[in-house]
Structure 1
Amino acid sequence: MRRTGVPYAFLAPALVLFAAFLAAPIGYSIYLSLRRVKVSGLGLGRGARTEVWAGLGNYTRSLSDAEFLPSVVRVGAYGLVVVPVMLGLALLMALLLDAGRTRVGTFARTSIFLPYAIPAVIASLLWGFLYLPRVSPIVDALQGAGIQPPDALSSSWVLYAVANIAIWGGTGFNMIVLYTALRAIPTEMVEASRLDGASDVQIAWRIKIPIITPSLIMTFVFSLIATLQVFAEPMTLRPLSNTISTTWTPLMKVYRDAFTRNDIYSAAATSVIIAVATFAISFGFLRLVGTRAFGQEN
């Protein structure tokens, strides 16, 4: 009895924390998404506002909101920019570091990873002031060279301005993951390829990248989830530009409904929709490519 109970004793703190800070909030959000406030009379006095069952009404209202679909499309366009560029840069940097093209490997890895250690709000404020024409040293330098830069916070460029912050901050983390996977490749395999006359590009394309495909899939899923939940960057940049609305992303719409309109029931329904969509897309992608990739690894 004592021997069989030891594993559960070690798991108990993690299970309690999981239940208290993850499972319980999720369950409460689902509960709120199925409720609504019923107002009687003028809504004044005790008992004038009561919480009643709403069924799927909040979900219908969220999905039919005219501002919800544009925010989803905007996040989709944002993801098409962020995910390929960020993972491409991370893979390129990891391959260059693994190939030994730089003699300052530790310094290079730390420099590339450092932006990830900066909180998203701080990074957004930093880049926000670099985007503002009146205070940006980059704009001053370009204008001094006779180049008129575009307004990064204009309606035509704001999507790329937000994407740039995410790429700058996330490339280092993905690079470390891919670099760690590259370091696990047996050196004998690489040396044998060199003896056969393979170049660095051929080794990277035909040996290294296929072997680290599971790590690429993992970083892609993490990046996809982060893209669908983008919030801090546009929310921080919003006071600096009128091109970012309160519903620029779905999570910003959740924030507006919950804390500006005081409609926590609609906000909870939208949150559940985002969570289900994130799970479905991530799980669907893993089902599509994960089995073959991880099967090849085994």
Structure 2
Amino acid sequence: MTESVALRRRRARFRTDGKGWIFVGPFLAVFALTFLAPIAYAIYLSLFRDQAFFGGTVFVGLDNYADVLRDAKFWESFLRVLAFLVVQVPVMLVLALLAALAIDSARLHGSSFFRIVIFLPYAVPGVVAVLMWGFIYGNNFGLAADLNELLGTTAVQPLSQRWMLPSIANIVTWEFVGYNMLIFYSALRTVPGELYEAAAIDGAGTFRTIRAVKLPALRGAIVIATIFSIIGSFQLFNEPNILRTLAPNVITTYYTPNMYAYNLSFAGQQFNYSATVAIVMGLITAVIAYIVQLRGSREAL
């Protein structure tokens, strides 16, 4: 009798869970087709190589991955975006944090206006933003050329070899400060008012309130924004790819890993090696993002 009751309960639980699959199923199907299937196909491509003289493809196992690890162009592009990440991401997040704290402060008049103004660049399409800044950076036209003509010098060269990466960093910072500011500001709005009242009773000033109340509340948001920024830095493509038309001698076809994979595939017709570069870069990005998330979670505890 007991076994019969237990069996009926298991069947009822299965029927209940089965109804959930009806709702989850469409999402899983789309997820598998748009995310898992392309990854699986890229992994499949990375295991083969085109035969130069005989035509067709041949299975090479992990040889393509070994070639990527020995590829000087890949590591040059990777180290470039790594340097970009180390400098640009902290600057961008600090600016976004300061903007969020200022807007959240009751002392800033017109906070809604400033919130919209700071967020507005994120609403500009990325291609349009790069084209706009490209005209500003131009050596023969735009603001940079006008400044050089006014000063009678050629010191302002945003598209030169020395200043290209900072120029790209400036564009990315301009685009995404507002996005990260909104993440931080949303986290600040969830802080209970009782904490501010307790800090005021304890005699805490503005900076002490920020350090003791607001920054701890922002820890999770900072981790999320950092992870998003790391992923975005390793995916750097639009800005250098568009600016390449203005500075072809400075921005190479392998200026970033994404540009390298793109040009290998669409210009060099090396689909197998391009897929390998993309997978290796994806694995590196995932590992670094996971380490940041793990470290941030431990500090939160």
TM-score, shorter chain, exceeding 0.5: yes
Q: Which amino acid aligns with 2:98?
A: L
CA distance in 2, matches of 1:127, 1:263: 32
Which stretch shifts more, 148-157 or 130-139? 130-139
1:209 and 2:215 are equivalent in the alignment: yes
Match of residue 274, structure 2, among 264, 267, 270: 267
Q: Which residue of 1 aligns with 2:21?
A: 8
Q: In the alignment, is the contact (CA less than 8 A) between 1:68 and 1:250 conserved in 2?
A: yes
Cα 1:204–1:149 shift into 2, 3 Å: farther
Q: 1:169 to 1:9 in 2, by over 3 A?
A: same
Which amino acid in 1 is paired with 2:288? I
Task: Give, in whole Å, the separation in 2 of the partners of 1:56 and 1:143.
Answer: 55
**More deviation, 25-34/251-260:** 251-260
Write out aligned runs for 1:23-172 (5 A): 23-39=36-52, 43=53, 48-137=54-143, 139-140=145-146, 144=150, 150-172=156-178
- Indicate the residue corresponding to 2:201 in structure 1: 195
User: 2:256 is matched with which residue: 226, 249, 254?
Assistant: 249
How much has 1:216 moved relative to structure 2? 0.6
* C-alpha displacement of 1:289: 2.9
Equivalent-residue separation in structure 1 for 2:78 and 2:266 (angstroms): 20
C-alpha distance in 2 between matches for 1:96 and 1:11: 42
Q: Would the alpha carbon gap of residues 212 and 161 (structure 1) be closer, same or farther in structure 2, given more than 3 Å must change?
A: same
Would you say 1:20 and 2:33 are equivalent positions? Answer: yes
Percent identity between the aligned chains?
38
- Shift of the alpha carbon at 1:6? 2.7
Contact 1:139 1:149 in 2 (8 A): no
Q: Does 1:231 align with 2:237?
A: yes
Relative distance call for 1:149 and 1:10 in structure 2 (3 A) is farther
1:108 deviates by: 1.3
2:193 and 2:176 map into 1 onto residues whose CA distance is 28
Q: Does 1:287 align with 2:294?
A: yes
Question: Cα offset for 1:292?
Answer: 3.2
Provide the rounded CA distance (Å) in 2 between the counterparts of 1:106 and 1:142. 37
One-letter amino acid matched to 1:67? K
| Offset of residue 135 of structure 1 | 2.3
Larger Rg: 2
Letter in structure 2 aligned against 1:34:
L
Paired with 2:269 and 2:43, the residues of 1 have a C-alpha distance of: 17
- Provide the rounded CA distance (Å) in 1 between the counterparts of 2:30 and 2:99: 37
Deviations along 1:267-294, whole A, 9 cap, x unmatched? 000011001101111112222232331x
Partner deviation per Cα, 1:178-211 (whole Å, 9 max, x = no partner) = 0010011111211221232222111112221012
Corresponding position of 2:187: 181
* Aligned amino acid, residue 50 of structure 2: V
TM-score after normalising by structure 2: 0.90
SS of aligned partner of 2:161: coil
Of 55-64 and 224-233, the range deviating more from structure 2:
55-64
Letter in 2 for 1:154: S
Q: How many residues align?
A: 287
Do the aligned partners of 1:83 and 1:224 also contact (CA within 8 Å) in 2?
A: yes
C-alpha displacement of 1:145 = 7.1
The farther-off stretch of 187-196 and 224-233 is 187-196
Q: Gaps (5+ residues) in structure 2?
A: 1-13
- Contact 1:74-1:249 at 8 Å conserved across structures: yes
Paired residues of 1:246 and 1:252 also in contact (CA < 8 A): yes
In 2, Cα distance between equivalents of 1:68 and 1:125 = 27
Shift of 1:172: 0.7
Structure 2 distance, partners of 1:143, 1:174, is: 37
Instruction: Give, as a single letter, the amino acid of the residue that structure 1 aligns with 2:135.
Output: F
> Given the two structures, how large is their TM-score scaled by the length of structure 1?
0.91
- Structure 2 Cα separation of the partners of residues 209 and 137 of structure 1: 38
CA distance in 2, matches of 1:205, 1:124: 36
Report if the CA contact (8 A) 2:220-2:296 is conserved.
no
